[in-house]
Structure 1
Amino acid sequence: MLHLRILAPTELTDDAVAILEADPGVSGLAVVRGASLRPPGDLIFADVAREAANDVVDLLRATDLHHHGSIEIEPVHAWLSQGGFDAELKAPGSSADAVVWAEVAQRSYEDTELNWTYLSFMTLATMLAAIAIVTDSQILVIGAMVLGPEFGAIAALGVALVRRRFALLTLAARTLLVGFAVAIAVTAAMALFTRWLGWVTIDDVTGPRPSTAFIYTPDKWSFIVAVIAAAAGVLSLTSSKLGGLSGVFISVTTVPAAGNVALGIVFGVKDAILGSTLQLALNLTGMAIAGWATLAFQQAVWSRLSLRRAGQRQVRRML
């Protein structure tokens, strides 16, 4: 169940209320006339089944309400309502499977913002990965994978393509490129400093590393794992059940590969640079493709369900 809070200009209130009243997926509706000061108008509350949210929001957007007022969507984690239960039964599909595109798009824009926090997490994760490689520690590699914030921007690439938001596509690509470039540069500076101190030697970079050799030796499984992980990650982001993201973070070798690229640059190890760059490219490509394919499939499924709901609404009007 989702809760809508709408600030509507007076001239758009009746249209918004009519849309909400006509949809069987809306179980609760309240209007407080004159309660909104900015914009001058009314405050509307509505409870809507998650499965019906896309159709309701699309109809509200068609009135241009989001330009002159606001539409806020909040999840309701616990509720007691027979009307709400009936609304969910009438809405095709399952609430756990429902993709609320407004929610997904909002999260994508937030995850692709190139800010100090994103760069800090990316840099710290890459530095930790470099230390993991030098010490041949799988535990530190996993820590670096979990710390890296890059998956949100990768998932945003798929959202941008499926929803045709090309501004988001540009933002996501820029965030990934700048994030990895800054992280590799700072990690390389750290590696250069530790080399000068004598803490890290060429043998630490080129010697046997059985626990972390997978970072710079990509193969077909690297791509397959990236595809599976990205599909699971996108499902976690779009579903109301957020349980799979931690598994995604410890499955893909993006940040560790970036850390090894930095070490390779400082110590002049071409094999490490080439192997890790290929590993990074395979993971990013596999995740981007899988994210797009998963989202495209979800959109196709929910578009069919939306058509069913539209047909049902038409039948009810005729009756």
Structure 2
Amino acid sequence: MSETNAPPPPSAGTTAASIPHEGHFAAVVHSWQQWWRTSVTSTVDQAAVIEKRREDCDTSARYLFLTAMSGGIAILGLLLSSPAVVIGAMLLSPLMGPIIGLGFALAIGDYQWLRQSAKSLLYGSAMAVFLCALIVFFSPIQTVTSEIASRTQPNLFDLLVALFSAMAGGYAMIRGREGTIVGVAIATALMPPLAVVGFGLATLNWTVFQGALLLFITNLITIALTAMVMARIYGFRTELSQRQTHLQNLIVVLVFIALAVPLGYSLIQIGKQANGERLVRGELQDLFDTNSRLSQIDIDWRTDPVTIDATVLTPKLEPDAESKGKRALARILGQDVDLKLTQYKVGTGAQAAEAAQLAAAEAKKREAELVKVDELTRELALVAGVSSKDVIVDRENNRALVRAKALPGATLATYQALESRIAAGVPTWQVQILPPPGGALPTIAFVADGDNKGQPTEAGRRALALVGWAAQRSGMAVALRGGTAAERETAAAILADSNVTPKLEPGGPQMTAHWVTNVSAS
């Protein structure tokens, strides 16, 4: 019998009139309980479910490897602001196993299982955090991307997502619907917050660190407690595990309390911010005409004072609205407020309001672009050792160019690496750093024997790539001297892919590159 079957009706001869109201209700409840025990919980192989869940909680080599790989993929996706890569990390993460294990262990009072699940979760989480921190520490990209920022302040929706996902995950694991876990893994997103914790640790950004850690703890607590409730509903009881001592039961109670404290704190913070945003919206709306519309509002509760950026579409501009709003919001929130209020005058018609809203959004976009260009200009000037006015920026074609000064100890490879690092942060722009003239060109190594004889080594290919880059940036011609004739032709063909035609010169056994002023046919 499936779980959707209706409960059996009361026994024959029993009518609603013959049973008092309270007795009738109790009979219905008893009927449902009887149906649930006989038609649902009795169909669950509890011993098999527990055995399977125990396996998912082992601190095995497979578990640690998948956790490490998931963490590495997650932090790279966050740094590149790539949702697709982040989703891949969610699918790979095995953290759901020990967290669900915590819930089942609490449900049946198995202290040993609880300790094993907690240990696996602790080892996996710590390894993921420190691996992500290590990657960020050595990464040239250490900016807070939109993907990172979105995981630094959990809200009520994050809590509800974890709740419903845990219900689906608990059901799937109890009823043997393992395929559902894929969707649950994406929904709960356990690994990305841990990766952001590692980012905050590496960059010493404690606001990011604390926000991401709070999101992870919120997800963890919600999933574990929901799994425990689901297990209890499906009839998992203490008789399925070894008899627990009073000490073990006390520890289970303490675990409950330890889990409830951070969850309660999270809920209080979320509630305060949700209520605060409602008050802010209402107060700002009261400053304007009833035909006005609050188009956009951004509140950063982490700053001191609280930063509020709002856009209002109104048929009548209010010159003192910002000062009045700041005083009113400081009074109702009980703390200082930094309010930036942008007003757009519109007609009373719906089309005028919509047009103004689009204009406001476009203005916001242009402002963000200007900020990005200014940051790019400052960064290029800094690495090139020049002032910002020496950086050439073409906003229409998204190009930025700067001629670098000769920096102590810097080689052509240094300038190439600096250009690559900056370009990675602005993928829609073409960034060029022109190195100072006269930099030494590298030696090109070739394979001496074997199947790849006559082909450049890996180091040789990197050297040719550097030669091609330097020739493009400087506009000067290059020559390849030495090696065999076949090696020179091979190197010339590789440089042709960079639109560089080198002069080929015989010489010694080792091929070198150097600058020339004139190129003749070889």
Alignment-derived partner of residue 190 in structure 2? 254
Alignment of 1:104-253 (within 5 A): 104-194=49-139, 199-201=140-142, 204=143, 206=144, 208-209=145-146, 211=147, 213-253=149-189
C-alpha change, 1:105 and 1:94, in structure 2 (3 Å) is: closer
Alignment of 1:12-51 (within 5 A): none
Letter in 2 for 1:280: F
User: How far apart in 2 are the matches of 1:300 and 1:258?
Assistant: 31
Deviation of 1:277 after TM superposition, in Å, equals 0.4
Deviation of 1:128 after TM superposition, in Å, equals 1.1
C-alpha change, 1:169 and 1:103, in structure 2 (3 Å) is: same
User: How far apart in 1 are the matches of 2:206 and 2:165?
Assistant: 29
User: How far apart in 1 are the matches of 2:51 and 2:118?
Assistant: 17
Contact 1:137/1:212, CA 8 A, preserved across alignment: no
Letter in 2 for 1:156: G
Deviation of 1:92 after TM superposition, in Å, equals 3.8
Contact 1:253/1:279, CA 8 A, preserved across alignment: no
Per-residue Cα deviation, 1:168-223 (whole angstroms, up to 9, x for no partner): 000001110111001111221222222xxxx323xx2x2x51x5533222111111
Alignment of 1:258-277 (within 5 A): 258-277=194-213
For residue 288 of structure 1, the aligned residue among 224, 229, 238 is 224
Does residue 279 of structure 1 match 2:224? no
Contact 1:104/1:238, CA 8 A, preserved across alignment: yes
Deviation of 1:294 after TM superposition, in Å, equals 0.8
User: How far apart in 2 are the matches of 1:212 and 1:260?
Assistant: 6
TM-score of the superposed pair, with normalisation by structure 1: 0.60
Per-residue Cα deviation, 1:107-149 (whole angstroms, up to 9, x for no partner): 1221111122111111111111111111111111111111100
C-alpha change, 1:274 and 1:286, in structure 2 (3 Å) is: same
User: How far apart in 2 are the matches of 1:145 and 1:238?
Assistant: 22
Contact 1:123/1:184, CA 8 A, preserved across alignment: no
Contact 2:90/2:185, CA 8 A, preserved across alignment: yes
Specify the SS of the correspondent of 1:191: helix
User: How far apart in 2 are the matches of 1:111 and 1:94?
Assistant: 24
Alignment-derived partner of residue 93 in structure 1? 39
Letter in 1 for 2:232: A
Contact 1:125/1:147, CA 8 A, preserved across alignment: yes
Gap regions ≥5 residues in structure 1: 1-48, 52-90, 304-319
Letter in 2 for 1:191: V
Contact 2:79/2:148, CA 8 A, preserved across alignment: no
Contact 1:109/1:156, CA 8 A, preserved across alignment: yes
Q: Bigger CA drift: 292-301 or 256-265?
A: 292-301
Per-residue Cα deviation, 1:7-36 (whole angstroms, up to 9, x for no partner): xxxxxxxxxxxxxxxxxxxxxxxxxxxxxx
Specify the SS of the correspondent of 2:187: coil
Specify the SS of the correspondent of 1:183: helix
CA-atom RMSD in angstroms: 2.5
User: How far apart in 1 are the matches of 2:220 and 2:176?
Assistant: 25
Alignment of 1:308-319 (within 5 A): none
User: How far apart in 2 are the matches of 1:240 and 1:181?
Assistant: 30
Contact 2:149/2:208, CA 8 A, preserved across alignment: no
Indicate the structure (1 or 2) with the bigger Cα radius of gyration. 2
TM-score of the superposed pair, with normalisation by structure 2: 0.37
Contact 2:108/2:236, CA 8 A, preserved across alignment: no
Letter in 1 for 2:188: V
Contact 2:74/2:86, CA 8 A, preserved across alignment: yes
Q: Which has the higher contact order (CA 8 A, sep 6+)?
A: 1
Contact 2:40/2:234, CA 8 A, preserved across alignment: no
Letter in 1 for 2:54: Y
Deviation of 1:154 after TM superposition, in Å, equals 0.9
Deviation of 1:284 after TM superposition, in Å, equals 0.3
Deviation of 1:94 after TM superposition, in Å, equals 5.4
Deviation of 1:267 after TM superposition, in Å, equals 1.0
C-alpha change, 1:92 and 1:296, in structure 2 (3 Å) is: closer
